[in-house]
Amino acid sequence: MPSFSNKRRVQHKASEMFDLVADVERYPEFVPLCQALKVRQRTPRADGTEVIVADMTVSFKLVKETFTSEVTLDRPNLKITVRYLRGPFSNLENRWTFEPKGDDASDVGFYITYEFKSRMLAMLMGSMFDVAFTRFSAAFEKRADIVYGKRG
């Protein structure tokens, strides 16, 4: 099963980066391959977490696919987890971590593993997904520079 992970030191607070990744409605503005995102449901929980169910449409050349995920925003622990519900994958798991490193810096961790249901779709989208994931972290860091101002 293909997977990708990385950790980047960014010159933004962990809470700022958490907020940026949690703002899923803005993804079509800057996330590679993300053409549209619709939040179906938001459920705040008593423990300080929030659960979002959202549809994301990814597009590359002539291929366009929509999938539904459950996103758990764990603000108290600065973690975001994504659980796949339905769509073109047989499996999709995604995690974000945000570790404070001083006053205005943090380490942002990103992990994803996925497998397409269709061998044909895997051939069409697989290599582009790999390229997109290497650009994800940079896209979020660039977005943070725009939203919060470039530091350091």
Contact between residue 119 and residue 104 where contact means Cβ atoms under 8 Å apart: no
Count how many domains the chain has: 1
Whether the Cβ atoms of residue 112 and residue 94 lie closer than 8 Å to each other: yes
Residue 72 pLDDT greater than 90, yes or no: yes
Owning domain of residue 37:
3-148
Q: In the structure, what pLDDT confidence band is assigned to residue 101 with cuts at 50, 70 and 90?
A: very high
pTM above 0.85, yes or no: yes
CB under 8 Å to 39, separation ≥6 — which residues?
24, 25, 52, 53, 54
Task: Estimate the crossing angle of helix 119-148 against helix 14-22, to 10 degrees.
Answer: 130
pLDDT in tens, 5-60: 889 999 999 999 999 999 999 999 999 889 999 999 999 999 999 999 999 998 87
- Tens of pLDDT, residue by residue over 112-138, are 998 888 887 787 666 677 677 778 878
**CATH code: domain of residue 131:** 3.30.530.20
Integer distance in angstroms from the first to the last C-alpha of the chain?
A: 38
Q: Which residue has the higher pLDDT, 122 or 143?
A: 143
* Listed residue (116, 24, 138, 9) closest to 71, CA to CA: 24
